[in-house]
Homo-oligomer: A and B are copies of this chain.
């Protein structure tokens, strides 16, 4: 059967578009999460027409199709759990257009996020979303509605998508929106597809709204004795009417790991670290950075640094960008939970993580987007392949998510549900919400061929 499927697909799409050797199959069996399933065939689409032909064929033959980008997701969203076809969009990687007067980019889904950002910048334009994996992840993969530190001021991926071409499950091609910055033509079909994790359709072209490129930037870095102090500063920055582009926090475990790992880099003393980023016009950024520096100083930080200009700002950010690597350098497996809490529960969340540490014996490192209340709670574990250990991690997460939900928070802010959070999908939603998901899925993909086996099933 696998052989037969591959040869049918070769007939349909050409030899070059289809692979079923063990290595290629293995390379398309999962993402950065801890689950894998080998597809029967990998298809590399080069055009909308390829995707359309493939989905028409798959629909007629009821074969699962799991679309994927670079495989940098954190929730196993592109694991082909029902086998069938893994559909790679990595060859659809053209930046078709960057247009200054219309302030838009027209791209294919396989474009790497950082490449798009650079191309926009070269045209004096700005694509704000900056997920940590931006040098590897694709715009199509950002269809989990990816964020990043700059979301605080600029919003998530969804806020920048103004046009989509989507191939529906039956192979029909839907085009919605376009190069206009405002649009109220009917229902929000763009919102329906962005963040749908490959379950409702396959995106083949994206029009992105771009902003004017802010000419200047400043970064402030401060370390405090307690996370409580850092969280207080966050609220005071808002109370003074500032909307920084980023407001990042890290806890003492994260800092400790960085201290052990980054011998050459000076990690500030303290149990909580805050990074504040500002962007805009030169004079504005300078005067605002000076004002926030004063505000930070009143809280008696252990250390306080300020940088202006891209290069010096990036030096202060280097530490933040190394956190994930430093945590991995502990030798433990890092299980990153992108929970979000209402902003007033920031300290509660970090304190709760400490009680979990005591109860279950895992080290837990918290860092992330303080301004959004979107904190990455990283459970650090060894032997994660051991089923008993997995079960213990799951029980820890049962506790964590129950508490987050009790505060009115959510179990994912950026990464999506995928497979990784399927266990908690019923806790995170009501039956009415789940039923509406099933209805939407049924409407758009009646044979359940698109990314089956994920949270909607």
Query: Assuming the A-B contacts A102-B343, A103-B343, A430-B175, are A413 and B281 also in contact, with contact meaning beta carbons closer than 8 angstroms in the complex?
Result: no
Chain B nearest CB from A36 CB (Å) reads 22
A432 with B180, Cβ < 8 A, contacts A159-B155, A213-B241 known = no
Decide if A187 touches B180 in the complex (CB within 8 Å): no
Select which of B178, B183, B191, B241 is within 8 A of A191 by beta carbon.
B191
Query: In the complex, what's the smallest C-beta–C-beta distance from A277 to chain B, in angstroms?
Result: 15
Residues of B within 8 Å of A156, CB to CB, are 182
Q: How close is A407's CB to chain B, nearest CB, in angstroms?
A: 9
Complex CA gap A173/B416 in Å reads 24
Check A212–B242 contact: CB distance below 8 A. yes
In the complex the two chains form, is B174's CB within 8 Å of A440's CB?
no
- A414-B184 in contact (CB<8A): yes
Does residue A249 face the partner (Cβ distance < 8 Å to B)? no
What number of A residues sit within 8 Å (CB to CB) of B?
96
Q: How far is the CA of A344 from the CA of B417 in the complex (A)?
A: 39
Query: What is the CA–CA distance of A171 and B214 in the complex, to the nearest angstrom?
Result: 48
Kindly specify which of A58-66, A193-201, A316-324 makes contact with the partner chain.
Answer: A193-201
Instruction: Evaluate contact between A239 and B287: CB separation under 8 angstroms.
Output: no
User: A341 contacts which chain B residues (CB < 8 A)?
Assistant: 180
Q: Is the CB of B187 within 8 A of A437?
A: yes
Given contacts A212-B238, A239-B100, contact A196 B192 (CB under 8 A): no
Copies of this subunit: 2
Tell whether, in the assembled complex, residue A433 and residue B189 are in contact, meaning their CB atoms are under 8 Å apart.
yes
Instruction: Return the contact of A432 from the options B172, B195, B342 (Cβ within 8 A).
Output: B172
Q: Are A185 and B102 in contact (CB under 8 A)?
A: no
User: Is A17's beta carbon under 8 Å from chain B?
Assistant: no
The answer to the question of A235 belonging to the interface, with a C-beta cut-off of 8 Å to chain B, is: yes
Would you call A288 an interface residue if the criterion is a C-beta within 8 Å of the partner chain's C-beta atoms?
A: yes
Partner of A184, one of B189, B235, B416: B416
Instruction: Determine if A273 is an interface residue (Cβ-Cβ < 8 Å).
Output: no
Pick from B158, B168, B212: contact of A241, CB below 8 A. B212
Candidates B124, B188, B284, B440; contact of A283 at CB < 8 Å: B284
Q: Mark A394-415, 1 if CB is under 8 A from B, else 0.
A: 0000000000000011111111
Alpha-carbon gap, A97 to B307, bound state (A): 39
Does A147 touch B at the CB level, under 8 Å? yes
Among A189, A192, A281, A430, residue most surrounded by chain B Cβ atoms (within 10 Å): A281
A147 to B182, CA, bound (A): 9
Q: With a CB–CB cut-off of 8 A, which chain B residues contact A180?
A: 340-342, 373-374, 408-410, 413
Query: A-B pairs with the 7 shortest C-beta distances?
Result: A191-B191, A284-B284, A101-B344, A182-B413, A283-B287, A102-B342, A188-B191
Given contacts A185-B410, A187-B196, 7 further A-B contacts (CB under 8 A): A102-B343, A103-B343, A181-B340, A182-B374, A184-B338, A188-B192, A443-B443
Residues in A lying within 8 Å of B, measured CB to CB: 99-104, 124, 144-145, 147, 151, 155-156, 158-159, 168, 172-176, 178-192, 194-196, 199-200, 211-215, 235, 237-243, 280-281, 283-284, 287-288, 291, 338, 340-344, 369, 372-374, 408-417, 425, 428-430, 432-433, 436-437, 439-440, 442-444, 455-456
Q: What are 17 A-to-B residue pairs whose CB atoms are below 8 Å?
A: A101-B342, A102-B373, A124-B241, A151-B182, A180-B342, A181-B340, A181-B343, A182-B414, A186-B437, A187-B195, A188-B191, A189-B433, A191-B191, A211-B243, A281-B291, A283-B288, A440-B440
